[in-house]
């Protein structure tokens, strides 16, 4: 093994910086396409700049629109959280009556499995429970 420890350190550092660079590049490209305030030409221009001149393009994008990236991400997270909470509330309200149906269907399934009712009677009773 003729690879000194300092060379291992430099190799690890360069790989880390390379991975970090790609993460930054993907984050910027994702922000470009998710931003609703940019026109199609604006998105195309920023994308060309970031792809053709990656270092300059990314640094210029971060300088020009870096603060907005955080604000847009925060607004997106808040909107997603609000939609999730509304969905939970709607599901809780809609699900209040279904627990009785689930219990009744469970009892019917047990009766059918034990042989107390026939398959036709089970289907009839299931339709009544689901209709009512």
Q: Looking at the structure, do residues 63 and 122 belong to the same domain, yes or no?
A: no
In tens, the pLDDT along 98-109 reads 567 777 888 888
Its domain, for residue 18, covers 5-96
Please give the model's pTM, rounded to 2 decimal places.
0.60
Dump the DSSP string for 38-49.
S-HHHHHHHHHH
Number of independent structural domains in the chain: 2
Letter string b/e over residues 83-101, b meaning 16 or more CB atoms within 10 A of that residue's CB: eeeeeeeeeeeeeeeeeee
In tens, the pLDDT along 21-68 reads 999 999 999 999 999 899 999 999 999 999 999 899 999 999 999 889
Q: Looking at the structure, do residues 72 and 23 belong to the same domain, yes or no?
A: yes
Confidence of residue 1 (pLDDT cuts 50, 70, 90): low
Q: Looking at the structure, do residues 43 and 107 belong to the same domain, yes or no?
A: no
Displacement of CA 116 from its chain's centroid (Å)? 47
pLDDT at 114: 84
Q: Looking at the structure, do residues 107 and 78 belong to the same domain, yes or no?
A: no
Top pLDDT among 108 and 9 is at 9
- The angle at the Cα of 98, spanning 94 to 101, to the nearest 5 degrees, equals 160
């Amino acid at each position: 093994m003729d690879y000194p420890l300092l060379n291992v350190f430099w190799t690890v550092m360069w790989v880390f910086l390379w991975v970090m660079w790609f993460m930054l590049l993907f984050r910027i490209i994702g922000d470009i396409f998710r931003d609703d305030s940019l026109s199609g030409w604006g998105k195309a221009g920023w994308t060309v700049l970031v792809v053709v001149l990656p270092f300059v393009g990314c640094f210029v994008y971060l300088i020009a629109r870096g603060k907005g990236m955080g604000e847009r991400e925060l607004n997106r997270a808040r909107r997603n959280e609000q939609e999730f909470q509304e969905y939970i509330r709607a599901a809780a309200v809609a699900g209040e009556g279904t627990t009785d149906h689930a219990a009744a269907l469970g009892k019917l399934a047990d009766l059918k499995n034990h042989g107390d009712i026939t398959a036709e009677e089970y289907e009839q009773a299931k339709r009544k429970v689901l209709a009512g």
